[in-house]
Amino acid sequence: MWSLVDEPLVNQYFESIEEIEDILIQRCNFLRQEMQEEIRKLTNYHWLNFSL
């Protein structure tokens, strides 16, 4: 999963940990909303449920 999560961080410079946190929050939200099937395939957890 890390390869999906860290994509927007690769080879970037950040002024603060808060900036990294904001980008990771946005990325995780995107993954949750747009890439559910890919995550399911990577994790293969039968109990994984994306309902919120």
The tens digit of pLDDT for each residue in 21-47 reads 999 999 989 988 888 888 877 777 666
Statement: the pTM of the whole predicted model exceeds 0.95: no
User: For residues 5 and 28, is the Cβ–Cβ distance under 8 A?
Assistant: yes
- In this prediction, residue 46 carries a pLDDT of 64
- In this prediction, residue 1 carries a pLDDT of 74
20 pLDDT more than 90: yes
- In this prediction, residue 17 carries a pLDDT of 95
The CA-based dihedral angle spanning residues 3, 7, 10, 13, taken in that order and rounded to the nearest 10 degrees: -140
SS3 category, 35: coil
User: For residues 31 and 4, is the Cβ–Cβ distance under 8 A?
Assistant: yes
Q: And the tokens for 12?
A: 């970037």
- In this prediction, residue 41 carries a pLDDT of 79
